[in-house]
């Protein structure tokens, strides 16, 4: 596996630009899967309380024998646990399931703007960071106004905003907002959850041109945009294939052709409406 670049976060810590996503990975399969991905060279794992696999992920990490300092582990606070006190409790549960002393990155999974609790939740995140149990704090699915509210009220800018991005939903405006605020974009569902997009003639053509697979071309497109990605797979062949994207690049012609595919098509919920 070619070596994975590391990006600097706005708090000085570093994050591998590429990792393994675990949404829908069953808890029972997670230990074996995590062990084999770590053996292949993966060092960054993205999970969440809502994925119900933190225990399996933690077991895989423990069994891998890899030094904790070499790993980057992200988990997320689920929506119904928002609020200052509840966040602290939910974090204790996540950390104990993961069997870790700290997580590298803790994210507010969704802003849930109608519930009006993300600011208090963010303040609890800052407490956890002060205590050293969370290295870096970030958010997911935040809109510009949500980002501005927490930054204005606390003076602390999230290190990342994890948002839905793939060729059918390129999020140019929100990625630019993130960039201007020195927030790195993490692209969730980077492959648009597999399926039809991988069969698109453009990705077939670019795959042939670069001697890569359509999935590798799409993942490389995210890397060219400077985003952090963690495609999900439970298939060892694909896990290996997805990581093998750091030995080629797309040219400006390729990038322009992919830019033309943007349809503003969401696969997930609209953050303004959800929860
Ligand atoms: P994805 O875009 O990574 O697609 C995963 C699917 O694509 C797999 O189930 C498989 O069917 C297919 N696939 C993977 N590699 C392939 C390959 N090489 N060739 C062909 N098909 C392949 O979708 P995702 O899992 O939704 O997103 C990635 C990660 O992002 C998640 O696992 C999770 O960690 C995170 N995520 C976060 C949020 C959020 O709200 N913050 C939401 C969704 C996902």
109 is in an annotated binding site: yes
- pLDDT value of position 195: 83
Residue 11 forms part of a structural domain: yes
CATH of the domain at 236: 3.20.20.100
In a domain, 275, yes or no: no
The answer for residues whose C-beta is within 8 angstroms of residue 189's C-beta and 6 or more apart is 164, 165, 166, 267, 268
Distance 160 CA to ligand 1 centre (A): 18
Q: Ligand 1 pocket: which residues have CB below 6 Å?
A: 21-23, 46, 109, 140-141, 162, 188-194, 198, 215, 230-233, 238, 241-242, 268
pLDDT score for 39: 97
Among this protein's residues, is 51 annotated catalytic?
yes
Is residue 265 in some structural domain? no
Residue 104 is given by DSSP the state: E
- Which residue segment(s) compose the domain that 174 sits in? 4-258
Largest CA distance in the chain: 54
**DSSP secondary structure letters along 40-98:** HT--EEE--GGGT-HHHHHHHHHHH---GGG-EEEEEE-GGG-SHHHHHHHHHHHHHHH
Q: Give the distance (Å) from ligand 1 centre to CA of residue 266.
A: 14
In a domain, 95, yes or no: yes
Burial class (CB in 10 A: 0-12, 13-18, 19+), 186: buried
268 within domain boundaries: no
Domain tally for the chain? 1
CA-CA distance, 97 to 237, in Å (whole number)?
Answer: 28
Kindly give the confidence (pLDDT) of every residue in the chain, 275 residues in length, as a single tens digit, with 9 standing for 90 and above: 678 999 999 999 999 999 999 999 999 999 999 999 999 999 999 999 999 999 999 999 999 999 999 999 999 999 999 999 999 999 999 999 999 999 999 999 999 999 999 999 999 999 999 999 999 999 999 999 999 999 999 999 999 999 999 999 999 999 999 999 999 999 999 999 998 999 999 999 999 999 999 999 999 999 999 999 999 999 999 999 999 999 999 999 999 999 999 999 999 999 999 99
Q: What is the pTM of this model?
A: 0.98
Instruction: Evaluate the CA torsion angle 178, 182, 183, 185 in order and state its sign.
Output: positive
Which numbered atom of ligand 1 lies nearest the CA of 46?
34
Residue 182 CB neighbour total at 10 angstroms: 11
Instruction: Check residue 204 and report its DSSP letter.
Output: H
Q: Is residue 105 in a domain?
A: yes
- Could you tell me the distance, in angstroms and rounded to a whole number, from the CA of residue 22 to the centre of ligand 1? 8
């Amino acid at each position: 596996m070619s070596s994975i670049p590391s990006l600097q976060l706005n708090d000085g810590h570093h994050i591998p630009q590429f990792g393994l996503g675990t949404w829908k990975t069953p808890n029972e399969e997670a230990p074996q899967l995590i062990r084999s991905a770590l053996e292949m060279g993966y060092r960054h794992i993205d999970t969440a309380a809502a994925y119900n696999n933190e225990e399996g992920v933690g077991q895989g990490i423990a069994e891998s024998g890899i030094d904790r300092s070499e790993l980057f582990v992200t988990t997320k606070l689920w929506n119904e646990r928002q609020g200052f006190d509840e966040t602290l409790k939910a974090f204790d549960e996540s950390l104990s399931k993961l069997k870790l002393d700290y997580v590298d990155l803790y994210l507010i999974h969704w802003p849930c703007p109608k519930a009006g609790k993300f600011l208090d939740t963010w303040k609890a995140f800052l407490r956890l960071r002060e205590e050293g149990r969370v290295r870096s704090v970030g958010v997911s699915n935040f809109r510009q106004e949500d980002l501005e509210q927490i930054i204005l009220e606390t003076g602390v800018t999230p290190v990342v905003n994890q948002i839905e991005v793939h060729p059918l939903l390129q999020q140019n405006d929100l990625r630019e907002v993130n960039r201007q605020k020195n927030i790195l974009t993490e692209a969730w569902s980077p492959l648009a959850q597999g399926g039809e997009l991988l069969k698109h003639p453009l990705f077939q053509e670019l795959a042939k041109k670069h001697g890569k697979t359509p999935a590798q071309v799409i993942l490389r497109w995210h890397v060219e945009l400077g985003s952090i990605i963690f495609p999900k797979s439970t298939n060892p062949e694909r896990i290996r294939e997805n990581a093998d994207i750091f030995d080629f690049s797309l040219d400006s012609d390729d990038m322009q052709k992919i830019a033309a595919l943007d349809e503003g098509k969401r696969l997930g919920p609209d953050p303004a409406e959800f929860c």
